[in-house]
Amino acid sequence: MPIKGDASYWTLRAGNRAVENAVWSYEQPNAIGAPIKGLLAFDWNKVDHWFEEDEEIFGHARDPHHRLGVRPSTREVRVVVAGEKIALTRRELFLFETGLPTRVYISQATFEWNF
């Protein structure tokens, strides 16, 4: 039996293309694999492009436990105070730090202000 348990594999489909065994997971991991239960892994060599937020990366994907990174994003971010939306933007920077929640930095110039 493998160290983490038996892996399940899936085919990744995009448009008319299918890549077999590009995704795997340990659906019923043993004790060693328990921390990764419910997570999916992608074979780095079986996909065409990797992105962190809006930025294509060419090395290995960011490890949230061993690296600091700032990435631009066009993800919608809303600022809500007392149930009321006061700002909205799609131009921000996400700061990823080891063991901390992701922080979002937004330029005042990119806000749609609602007050």
Record the tokens describing residue 38, joined without a space.
């419910």
Tell me the C-alpha distance between 108 and 110, whole Å: 6
Tell me the C-alpha distance between 112 and 85, whole Å: 10
Q: Between residues 85 and 16, which one has the greater pLDDT?
A: 16
For residue 91, which of 113, 69, 78, 76 has the smallest C-alpha distance? 76
In sequence order, what are the residues at sequence separation of 6 or more whose Cβ sits closer than 8 angstroms to the Cβ of residue 111? 87, 88, 89
Taking residues 3-26, report their average pLDDT: 93
Give the 3-state secondary structure of residue 111: coil
**What pTM value is reported for the model?**
0.59
Give the 3-state secondary structure of residue 96: strand
Examine the pLDDT at 107 and tell me if it is beyond 90. no
CATH 2.170.150.40 domain residues, the chain? 1-48
Could you give the angle at the alpha carbon of 22 between the alpha carbons of 61 and 35, nearest 5°?
A: 60
Q: Using one digit for the tens of pLDDT, what is the confidence trace for 17-73? A: 999 999 999 998 999 889 999 899 999 889 888 888 888 988 777 676 777 888 899
Give the 3-state secondary structure of residue 5: coil
CATH class of 1-48: mainly beta
